[in-house]
Structure 1
């Protein structure tokens, strides 16, 4: 028979993993339903970028705001899933924007692309 403490810790660990996976997956699904990717290649890249941005961005927000104490309650873990979800949404916008930007400059050289980016940002 396992000790109650180790079983409880395993349950908390599973809940944390579920929150991360749920938040990241939900973000990816929502953004892809709103704006469908044009190709399979774009779909795969967008999915990977959205999930990674959800997990890494959510972790950054949790660390930055020092929300670690929320991990001790079920409600806190649900809030973490929302943070992971919200962190993934901007990633799709950036990926989609990059695909449009790259498609418009498909035959341009790398120096022309860097020049376009610098002109756009205002750093000549």
Structure 2
């Protein structure tokens, strides 16, 4: 009788692990699709960068929220896992935008010296604080 209860426990743990992995994979894939469809990349290189940045921000941001607020206990049922998948989804949305803004800023600064870039940043900061 003991091997049955042990294998039942093992099967439950295995299903919880794969269920969480499937939920994270689904959330990351959906956020990548949404971001790349709403902001069409201008080139194949930009598409690859967008995909990588979206996946990394989704995984890193979602994991940060789960660990920071100790939400590990939500993995006990399907609704908790769906909620955790939502965290991964939401955290992936701004990843591509932040990277695109950063590279647009860098492209605008091309040809300038570091002193000119710092002066521009300082002027921008002063305008914001007025």
Q: TM-score range by the shorter chain?
A: 0.7 to 0.9
Structure 1 residue 69, shift from structure 2 partner: 1.4
Task: Find the partner of 1:101 among 102, 105, 110.
Answer: 105
The residue number in structure 2 matching 1:15 is: 19
The residue number in structure 2 matching 1:51 is: 55
- Could you tell me which runs of 5 or more consecutive residues in structure 2 were left unpaired when the two chains were aligned: none
Secondary structure of the residue aligned to 1:107 is coil
The residue number in structure 1 matching 2:90 is: 86
- Alpha-carbon distance in 2 for matches of 1:111, 1:38: 31
Structure 1 residue 115, shift from structure 2 partner: 4.5
- Could you tell me which runs of 5 or more consecutive residues in structure 1 were left unpaired when the two chains were aligned: none
Q: Relative CO higher for 1 or 2, CA cutoff 8 Å, sep ≥ 6?
A: 1
Bigger shift: residues 104-113 or 9-18: 104-113
Secondary structure of the residue aligned to 1:3 is helix
Tell me the TM-score normalised to structure 2 length: 0.81
Task: Find the partner of 2:10 among 6, 9, 14.
Answer: 6
Structure 1 residue 30, shift from structure 2 partner: 0.5
Kindly name which structure, 1 or 2, has the bigger radius of gyration based on alpha carbons. 2
Secondary structure of the residue aligned to 1:24 is helix
